[in-house]
Amino acid sequence: MDKAQQDALKKAAGIEAAKLIQNGMIAGLGTGSTVRFLVDELGRRVKEEGLEFTGVTTSRRTQEQAEGYGIKIVNIDDVDHIDVTIDGADEVDKNFNGIKGGGAALLWEKIVATNSNKIVWIVDESKVVDTIGKFPLPVEVIPFGAGQVVKKFEAKYRLARVGGEPVRTDENNYVVDLHLERIDHPQELAQDLITTVGVVEHGLFLNMVDQVIVGDPNGPRVMDNPNK
């Protein structure tokens, strides 16, 4: 699949997911290129249909885009609930275990997700996999002692494409990526990561998502998590 085809599938999933947002809702808005299509569609609905909702964003990038459309964005600590969060993902398997953080927003994404009544992911079909792990697993680490975490997990610092400096998250931390090819025991790995001092959060989102909307050449299809 080339990039144009992939973008078309991402866009279709984003447009489909935008239908979930109704007047008066508080919605979590994720991060990434698929979410950009979602926010474009929500912006269109705000303008053309008078949709009114409040957003909580998972990155400054998404906040800027949403505010550009006149969508009201508030701090996560200023809401008492989030009705639904719609986010992208890098991979998801049939057990609804996924990898996120390709856009370095995993920490805020996990905080918003765990405070949401419902979590929906929007992906193109190439991200639905048998076993997660081919996509390098992002881990957010405190800069001090980051080299020790890198050594322990044989990870690689994520470097900016321009300039080659370590990528900084919205919390000013580093992201390191674990090139594992496959993750057969995600729970154990998640436990090992989160109990390592210096690790702030990891990109394993295990059985958290309620619904995945998959951009498919035949039209968006919905996968509901039976365990939720």
106 lines the binding site for ligand 5RP (CB under 6 A): yes
Query: The tokens of 100 are what?
Result: 């996120």
Q: Which of residues 51 and 175 has its CB atom nearest to ligand 5RP in the complex? A: 175
Which residue in 88, 136, 186, 220 binds ligand 5RP (CB under 6 A)?
88
Residues in contact with ligand 5RP, total (CB under 6 A)? 17
109 is catalytic: yes
Query: Nearest 5 degrees, angle CA 25-CA 104-CA 106?
Result: 50
Q: Which one of 109, 125, 165, 188 is the catalytic residue? A: 109
Give the x/- contact pattern for ligand 5RP in 113-132, rule: CB under 6 A: --------------------
Binding to ligand 5RP (CB under 6 A): which residues in 25-84? Answer: 30-34
Residues in the chain: 228
Q: Which stretch binds ligand 5RP (CB under 6 A): 105-113, 143-151, 152-160, 164-172?
A: 105-113
Which residues, 6 or more positions from 21, have their beta carbon under 8 angstroms from its beta carbon?
Answer: 27, 42, 45, 51, 53, 84, 86
Q: Shortest Cβ distance from residue 18 to ligand 5RP (Å)?
A: 15
Q: Which of residues 59 and 150 has its CB atom nearest to ligand 5RP in the complex? A: 59
101 lines the binding site for ligand 5RP (CB under 6 A): yes
Q: Which of residues 24 and 90 has its CB atom nearest to ligand 5RP in the complex? A: 90
Do 25 and 54 meet the contact criterion of CB atoms below 8 Å apart?
A: yes
Separation between Cα atoms, residue 178 and residue 39, nearest integer Å:
30
Binding to ligand 5RP (CB under 6 A): which residues in 138-157? Answer: none
Q: Shortest Cβ distance from residue 25 to ligand 5RP (Å)?
A: 20
Q: Which stretch binds ligand 5RP (CB under 6 A): 72-80, 85-93, 144-152, 210-218?
A: 85-93
Residue type, 12: A
14 lines the binding site for ligand 5RP (CB under 6 A): no
202 lines the binding site for ligand 5RP (CB under 6 A): no
Q: Tell me which residues touch ligand 5RP (CB under 6 A).
A: 30-34, 87-90, 100-106, 109
Which residues are identified as catalytic? Answer: 109
